[in-house]
Amino acid sequence: MKKCDVVAKILAGRRRFSRDVGRAEAPANIALCKYWGKRDEELNLPVTSSLSLTLDRVGAETEISLCASDDQIHLDGELLSADHPFAFRLSRYLDLFRSENEGYCVKTQSSVPVAAGLASSASGFAAAIKALDALHGWELETRELSILARLGSGSACRSLYSGFVEWHAGQREDGMDSYAEPLSLNWPEIRLGWMLVSKAQKLIGSRDAMRRTRESSLLYQAWPAQVERDLAVIKGALIRRDFARLGEAVEANALTMHATMMGAQPAVLYWLPDTVKVLHQVADARRQGLAVYATMDAGPNVKILYQAADQERVAAFFPQINPLCG
Ligand code: PMV
Protein backbone atom coordinates (compact mmCIF):
# COMPACT_ATOMS: atom_id res chain seq x y z
CA MET A 1 0.00 0.00 0.00
CA LYS A 2 1.25 3.49 -0.89
CA LYS A 3 1.02 6.67 1.16
CA CYS A 4 -1.15 8.28 -1.51
CA ASP A 5 -3.72 5.44 -1.17
CA VAL A 6 -4.01 6.14 2.56
CA VAL A 7 -4.40 9.87 1.89
CA ALA A 8 -7.07 9.16 -0.74
CA LYS A 9 -8.96 6.95 1.73
CA ILE A 10 -8.95 9.59 4.45
CA LEU A 11 -9.77 12.54 2.20
CA ALA A 12 -12.47 10.73 0.21
CA GLY A 13 -15.59 12.88 0.13
CA ARG A 14 -13.96 15.83 1.91
CA ARG A 15 -14.57 19.23 0.46
CA ARG A 16 -11.51 20.92 -0.86
CA PHE A 17 -11.55 24.65 -0.92
CA SER A 18 -8.66 26.83 0.07
CA ARG A 19 -8.52 29.64 2.51
CA ASP A 20 -5.74 32.18 2.09
CA VAL A 21 -3.71 30.54 4.76
CA GLY A 22 -3.85 27.65 7.25
CA ARG A 23 -2.09 28.06 10.58
CA ALA A 24 -1.37 25.54 13.30
CA GLU A 25 1.01 24.61 16.04
CA ALA A 26 2.07 21.28 17.46
CA PRO A 27 4.22 20.25 20.40
CA ALA A 28 7.25 17.99 20.52
CA ASN A 29 7.11 14.71 22.41
CA ILE A 30 9.54 12.38 24.13
CA ALA A 31 8.87 8.66 24.19
CA LEU A 32 8.94 7.02 27.60
CA CYS A 33 8.50 3.67 25.85
CA LYS A 34 10.25 3.90 22.50
CA TYR A 35 9.25 3.23 18.91
CA TRP A 36 12.13 1.46 17.23
CA GLY A 37 11.58 -0.50 14.03
CA LYS A 38 9.03 -0.34 11.22
CA ARG A 39 6.85 -3.20 10.05
CA ASP A 40 6.11 -1.11 6.93
CA GLU A 41 8.66 1.47 5.83
CA GLU A 42 6.43 3.22 3.30
CA LEU A 43 3.64 3.94 5.80
CA ASN A 44 5.85 4.27 8.92
CA LEU A 45 3.97 1.45 10.60
CA PRO A 46 5.77 0.42 13.78
CA VAL A 47 6.64 -3.06 15.01
CA THR A 48 5.44 -2.13 18.50
CA SER A 49 3.23 0.39 20.25
CA SER A 50 4.92 3.26 22.10
CA LEU A 51 4.10 5.84 24.76
CA SER A 52 5.21 9.44 25.03
CA LEU A 53 4.98 12.59 27.08
CA THR A 54 4.13 15.75 25.16
CA LEU A 55 6.31 18.80 25.75
CA ASP A 56 3.67 21.50 25.75
CA ARG A 57 6.07 24.41 25.65
CA VAL A 58 8.33 23.19 22.84
CA GLY A 59 7.23 22.66 19.27
CA ALA A 60 6.52 24.04 15.82
CA GLU A 61 4.25 26.78 14.51
CA THR A 62 3.42 26.54 10.84
CA GLU A 63 1.47 28.52 8.30
CA ILE A 64 0.77 27.21 4.82
CA SER A 65 -0.64 28.99 1.79
CA LEU A 66 -0.84 28.10 -1.89
CA CYS A 67 1.56 29.59 -4.39
CA ALA A 68 1.78 29.42 -8.16
CA SER A 69 5.46 28.50 -8.13
CA ASP A 70 7.40 25.54 -6.72
CA ASP A 71 7.24 25.06 -2.95
CA GLN A 72 8.79 27.78 -0.84
CA ILE A 73 9.81 26.39 2.53
CA HIS A 74 10.91 28.80 5.24
CA LEU A 75 12.34 27.59 8.53
CA ASP A 76 12.79 30.09 11.34
CA GLY A 77 12.59 32.99 8.88
CA GLU A 78 15.04 31.57 6.35
CA LEU A 79 13.99 30.44 2.86
CA LEU A 80 15.50 26.98 2.37
CA SER A 81 16.86 25.64 -0.88
CA ALA A 82 14.78 22.80 -2.37
CA ASP A 83 17.52 20.27 -1.60
CA HIS A 84 17.82 21.22 2.08
CA PRO A 85 16.93 18.01 3.99
CA PHE A 86 13.99 19.60 5.84
CA ALA A 87 12.61 21.29 2.70
CA PHE A 88 13.07 18.20 0.56
CA ARG A 89 11.35 15.93 3.07
CA LEU A 90 8.48 18.35 3.62
CA SER A 91 7.95 18.85 -0.12
CA ARG A 92 7.72 15.08 -0.67
CA TYR A 93 5.09 15.02 2.08
CA LEU A 94 3.19 17.94 0.52
CA ASP A 95 3.18 16.02 -2.79
CA LEU A 96 0.61 13.75 -1.15
CA PHE A 97 -1.85 16.60 -0.79
CA ARG A 98 -1.30 19.01 -3.67
CA SER A 99 -3.38 19.33 -6.82
CA GLU A 100 -1.55 19.50 -10.12
CA ASN A 101 0.65 22.57 -10.61
CA GLU A 102 -0.01 23.71 -7.07
CA GLY A 103 2.87 24.83 -4.88
CA TYR A 104 2.83 25.44 -1.15
CA CYS A 105 4.43 28.28 0.73
CA VAL A 106 5.29 27.03 4.21
CA LYS A 107 6.57 29.16 7.07
CA THR A 108 7.65 27.20 10.13
CA GLN A 109 9.04 28.46 13.41
CA SER A 110 10.48 25.74 15.58
CA SER A 111 11.30 26.17 19.25
CA VAL A 112 12.72 22.65 19.45
CA PRO A 113 16.32 22.96 20.64
CA VAL A 114 18.37 21.97 17.63
CA ALA A 115 20.90 19.85 19.48
CA ALA A 116 18.51 18.12 21.84
CA GLY A 117 17.77 15.15 19.62
CA LEU A 118 14.10 15.93 20.11
CA ALA A 119 13.03 14.65 16.71
CA SER A 120 11.97 18.10 15.50
CA SER A 121 10.24 16.18 12.71
CA ALA A 122 7.51 15.10 15.15
CA SER A 123 6.24 18.60 15.89
CA GLY A 124 7.09 19.72 12.33
CA PHE A 125 4.90 17.14 10.56
CA ALA A 126 2.11 17.36 13.14
CA ALA A 127 1.95 21.14 12.69
CA ALA A 128 2.14 20.75 8.89
CA ILE A 129 -0.85 18.39 8.63
CA LYS A 130 -2.91 20.55 10.99
CA ALA A 131 -2.07 23.63 8.93
CA LEU A 132 -3.03 21.79 5.70
CA ASP A 133 -6.31 20.75 7.29
CA ALA A 134 -6.99 24.38 8.17
CA LEU A 135 -5.95 25.62 4.71
CA HIS A 136 -8.15 23.18 2.81
CA GLY A 137 -11.01 23.10 5.31
CA TRP A 138 -11.09 19.29 5.55
CA GLU A 139 -12.12 19.30 9.23
CA LEU A 140 -10.53 15.92 9.86
CA GLU A 141 -10.84 14.07 13.16
CA THR A 142 -7.71 14.15 15.33
CA ARG A 143 -7.33 10.41 14.79
CA GLU A 144 -7.19 10.97 11.03
CA LEU A 145 -4.66 13.76 11.50
CA SER A 146 -2.59 11.38 13.62
CA ILE A 147 -2.57 8.80 10.80
CA LEU A 148 -1.62 11.43 8.24
CA ALA A 149 1.10 12.92 10.48
CA ARG A 150 2.58 9.40 10.80
CA LEU A 151 3.09 9.31 7.03
CA GLY A 152 5.52 12.23 7.48
CA SER A 153 7.35 10.90 10.52
CA GLY A 154 6.31 8.04 12.80
CA SER A 155 6.65 9.87 16.10
CA ALA A 156 4.66 12.84 14.67
CA CYS A 157 1.43 10.89 15.18
CA ARG A 158 1.91 11.33 18.95
CA SER A 159 2.30 15.12 18.69
CA LEU A 160 -1.43 15.68 18.09
CA TYR A 161 -2.21 15.39 21.80
CA SER A 162 -1.00 16.74 25.15
CA GLY A 163 -0.04 14.72 28.18
CA PHE A 164 0.72 11.02 28.06
CA VAL A 165 0.02 9.56 24.63
CA GLU A 166 -0.01 6.00 23.34
CA TRP A 167 0.62 5.16 19.69
CA HIS A 168 -1.12 1.86 18.95
CA ALA A 169 1.00 -0.20 16.58
CA GLY A 170 -2.10 -1.65 14.88
CA GLN A 171 -2.13 -4.68 12.62
CA ARG A 172 -3.80 -3.57 9.44
CA GLU A 173 -1.83 -3.35 6.24
CA ASP A 174 -3.25 0.08 5.45
CA GLY A 175 -2.34 1.34 8.94
CA MET A 176 -5.83 2.67 9.67
CA ASP A 177 -5.51 1.21 13.18
CA SER A 178 -2.05 2.69 13.76
CA TYR A 179 -2.66 6.07 15.41
CA ALA A 180 -2.01 7.80 18.71
CA GLU A 181 -4.47 8.45 21.52
CA PRO A 182 -4.15 10.41 24.75
CA LEU A 183 -4.22 8.43 27.98
CA SER A 184 -6.66 9.75 30.54
CA LEU A 185 -3.88 10.31 33.03
CA ASN A 186 -2.54 13.43 34.53
CA TRP A 187 0.73 13.84 36.41
CA PRO A 188 1.74 17.50 36.16
CA GLU A 189 4.64 17.11 38.60
CA ILE A 190 6.66 15.06 36.11
CA ARG A 191 9.67 16.94 34.75
CA LEU A 192 12.01 16.29 31.86
CA GLY A 193 15.32 18.00 31.24
CA TRP A 194 18.13 17.30 28.80
CA MET A 195 21.89 17.29 29.04
CA LEU A 196 23.86 18.43 26.03
CA VAL A 197 26.52 15.94 25.00
CA SER A 198 27.01 16.95 21.39
CA LYS A 199 25.47 19.33 18.87
CA ALA A 200 27.00 17.51 15.91
CA GLN A 201 24.75 16.21 13.16
CA LYS A 202 24.14 12.51 13.77
CA LEU A 203 25.93 10.09 11.48
CA ILE A 204 22.88 7.97 10.75
CA GLY A 205 19.23 9.02 10.76
CA SER A 206 16.56 7.08 12.65
CA ARG A 207 15.01 5.56 9.49
CA ASP A 208 18.27 3.93 8.36
CA ALA A 209 19.27 3.06 11.90
CA MET A 210 15.94 1.30 12.52
CA ARG A 211 16.25 -0.66 9.28
CA ARG A 212 19.80 -1.75 10.03
CA THR A 213 18.87 -2.78 13.58
CA ARG A 214 15.85 -4.73 12.44
CA GLU A 215 17.69 -6.47 9.63
CA SER A 216 20.96 -7.33 11.33
CA SER A 217 20.72 -7.25 15.13
CA LEU A 218 19.86 -10.57 16.76
CA LEU A 219 19.06 -8.59 19.90
CA TYR A 220 16.19 -6.92 18.05
CA GLN A 221 14.30 -10.21 18.24
CA ALA A 222 13.86 -9.57 21.96
CA TRP A 223 12.65 -5.98 21.49
CA PRO A 224 8.88 -6.52 20.90
CA ALA A 225 8.56 -8.59 24.08
CA GLN A 226 10.55 -6.01 26.03
CA VAL A 227 8.25 -3.23 24.81
CA GLU A 228 5.13 -5.19 25.68
CA ARG A 229 6.40 -5.60 29.23
CA ASP A 230 7.68 -2.01 29.55
CA LEU A 231 4.43 -0.55 28.24
CA ALA A 232 2.42 -2.46 30.84
CA VAL A 233 4.81 -1.46 33.64
CA ILE A 234 4.92 2.20 32.55
CA LYS A 235 1.14 2.47 32.26
CA GLY A 236 0.69 0.81 35.65
CA ALA A 237 3.27 3.12 37.24
CA LEU A 238 1.58 6.18 35.70
CA ILE A 239 -1.79 5.09 37.07
CA ARG A 240 -0.38 4.45 40.56
CA ARG A 241 1.97 7.44 40.41
CA ASP A 242 4.84 5.16 41.31
CA PHE A 243 7.76 7.31 40.17
CA ALA A 244 10.54 4.82 40.93
CA ARG A 245 8.81 2.06 38.96
CA LEU A 246 8.14 4.48 36.11
CA GLY A 247 11.72 5.73 35.98
CA GLU A 248 13.26 2.26 36.14
CA ALA A 249 11.14 1.05 33.24
CA VAL A 250 11.71 4.21 31.18
CA GLU A 251 15.47 3.99 31.59
CA ALA A 252 15.62 0.26 30.92
CA ASN A 253 13.49 0.69 27.81
CA ALA A 254 15.77 3.37 26.32
CA LEU A 255 18.98 1.53 27.14
CA THR A 256 17.60 -1.71 25.73
CA MET A 257 16.68 0.10 22.52
CA HIS A 258 20.28 1.27 22.27
CA ALA A 259 21.52 -2.24 23.02
CA THR A 260 19.56 -3.55 20.03
CA MET A 261 21.28 -0.90 17.88
CA MET A 262 24.70 -1.79 19.18
CA GLY A 263 24.02 -5.39 18.18
CA ALA A 264 23.49 -4.34 14.55
CA GLN A 265 26.12 -4.95 11.90
CA PRO A 266 27.77 -2.52 11.60
CA ALA A 267 26.79 -1.25 15.04
CA VAL A 268 24.63 1.86 15.38
CA LEU A 269 26.47 3.65 18.16
CA TYR A 270 25.03 7.05 19.04
CA TRP A 271 26.83 7.14 22.38
CA LEU A 272 29.83 9.39 22.96
CA PRO A 273 32.16 9.26 25.97
CA ASP A 274 30.15 12.04 27.64
CA THR A 275 26.92 10.11 27.13
CA VAL A 276 28.32 7.38 29.37
CA LYS A 277 29.51 10.02 31.83
CA VAL A 278 26.03 11.50 32.14
CA LEU A 279 24.47 8.03 32.54
CA HIS A 280 26.91 7.38 35.40
CA GLN A 281 26.01 10.74 36.96
CA VAL A 282 22.36 9.75 36.86
CA ALA A 283 23.12 6.45 38.60
CA ASP A 284 25.31 8.31 41.15
CA ALA A 285 22.53 10.77 41.88
CA ARG A 286 20.19 7.84 42.55
CA ARG A 287 22.70 6.27 44.93
CA GLN A 288 22.58 9.58 46.80
CA GLY A 289 18.83 9.30 47.10
CA LEU A 290 17.75 11.56 44.22
CA ALA A 291 15.04 9.98 42.06
CA VAL A 292 16.31 10.74 38.52
CA TYR A 293 16.19 8.47 35.49
CA ALA A 294 17.65 8.72 32.01
CA THR A 295 16.13 8.27 28.60
CA MET A 296 17.72 8.71 25.16
CA ASP A 297 16.61 8.85 21.56
CA ALA A 298 18.50 8.47 18.29
CA GLY A 299 21.43 10.62 19.37
CA PRO A 300 24.06 11.09 22.08
CA ASN A 301 22.18 13.53 24.33
CA VAL A 302 20.53 12.36 27.53
CA LYS A 303 17.09 13.35 28.82
CA ILE A 304 16.46 13.20 32.53
CA LEU A 305 13.15 12.36 34.17
CA TYR A 306 12.47 13.71 37.66
CA GLN A 307 9.72 15.21 39.83
CA ALA A 308 8.96 18.88 40.47
CA ALA A 309 9.64 18.53 44.20
CA ASP A 310 13.27 17.62 43.40
CA GLN A 311 13.82 20.57 41.05
CA GLU A 312 16.42 22.30 43.24
CA ARG A 313 18.43 19.21 44.03
CA VAL A 314 18.39 18.20 40.37
CA ALA A 315 19.62 21.67 39.35
CA ALA A 316 22.41 21.42 41.94
CA PHE A 317 23.42 17.94 40.80
CA PHE A 318 23.15 18.70 37.08
CA PRO A 319 23.99 22.40 36.70
CA GLN A 320 23.97 22.13 32.89
CA ILE A 321 20.48 20.65 32.67
CA ASN A 322 18.08 22.33 30.21
CA PRO A 323 14.38 22.16 31.08
CA LEU A 324 11.98 20.63 28.58
CA CYS A 325 8.74 20.24 30.43
CA GLY A 326 7.18 21.78 33.50
O1 PMV B 1 9.71 9.24 14.20
P2 PMV B 1 11.18 9.11 14.00
O3 PMV B 1 11.53 8.49 12.70
O4 PMV B 1 11.90 10.41 14.23
O5 PMV B 1 11.75 8.07 15.09
C6 PMV B 1 11.76 8.34 16.46
C7 PMV B 1 12.56 7.32 17.16
C8 PMV B 1 12.88 7.60 18.62
O9 PMV B 1 12.90 8.99 18.91
C10 PMV B 1 14.25 7.02 18.95
C11 PMV B 1 11.88 6.89 19.55
C12 PMV B 1 10.51 7.51 19.69
O13 PMV B 1 9.59 6.74 19.98
O14 PMV B 1 10.35 8.73 19.56
pLDDT in tens, 102-155: 999 999 999 987 767 777 899 999 999 999 999 999 999 999 999 999 999 999
Report the nearest atom of ligand 1 relative to the CA of 167: 13
- Whether 206 is in the pocket of ligand 1, judged by its Cβ within 6 Å, is yes
The DSSP result for 242-280, as a single string, is: -HHHHHHHHHHHHHHHHHHHHTSSS------HHHHHHHH
**DSSP for residue 62:** E
In a 13 Å sphere around the CA of 208, the CA atoms on its Cβ side amount to: 9
Which tens digits make up the pLDDT trace of 147-175? 999 999 999 999 999 999 999 999 999 99
Consecutive 10-residue averages of pLDDT for the chain (326 residues): 97 85 97 98 98 95 94 96 94 95 95 77 97 96 98 98 98 98 96 94 92 98 98 98 98 98 98 98 98 97 98 97 88
Q: Specify whether the CB–CB gap between 283 and 157 falls below 8 A.
A: no
Report the nearest atom of ligand 1 relative to the CA of 155: 1
C-alpha–C-alpha distance, residues 34 and 47, integer Å:
11
Report the nearest atom of ligand 1 relative to the CA of 29: 14
Nearest CA to ligand 1 atom 10: 297
Pure H helices in 162-310: 206-216, 223-240, 243-262, 273-287
pLDDT at res. 281: 98
Helix (H) or strand (E) holding 85: helix 85-94
Left if phi > 0, otherwise alpha if psi is -120 to 50, otherwise beta: which for 52?
Answer: beta
State phi, psi for 105 to the nearest 5 degrees: -105, 120
pLDDT at res. 82: 96
C-alpha–C-alpha distance, residues 112 and 90, integer Å:
17
pLDDT at res. 122: 96
pLDDT at res. 245: 98
pLDDT at res. 69: 87
The preferred substitution site among 47, 50, 93, 155 for testing ligand 1, maximizing ligand atoms within 8 Å of CB, is 155
The preferred substitution site among 30, 34, 159 for testing ligand 1, maximizing ligand atoms within 8 Å of CB, is 34
State phi, psi for 303 to the nearest 5 degrees: -100, 145
Name which of 162, 169, 120 is nearest 142 in CA terms.
162
pLDDT at res. 170: 98
**Angle at Cα 136 formed by Cα 132 and Cα 140, nearest 5°?**
75
C-alpha–C-alpha distance, residues 236 and 65, integer Å:
44
**Residue 67 pairs with which residues in a beta bridge?**
103
Q: Are strands 302-307 and 190-195 parallel, antiparallel or unpaired?
A: antiparallel
pLDDT at res. 115: 66
- Cα(61) to ligand 1 centroid in Å equals 20
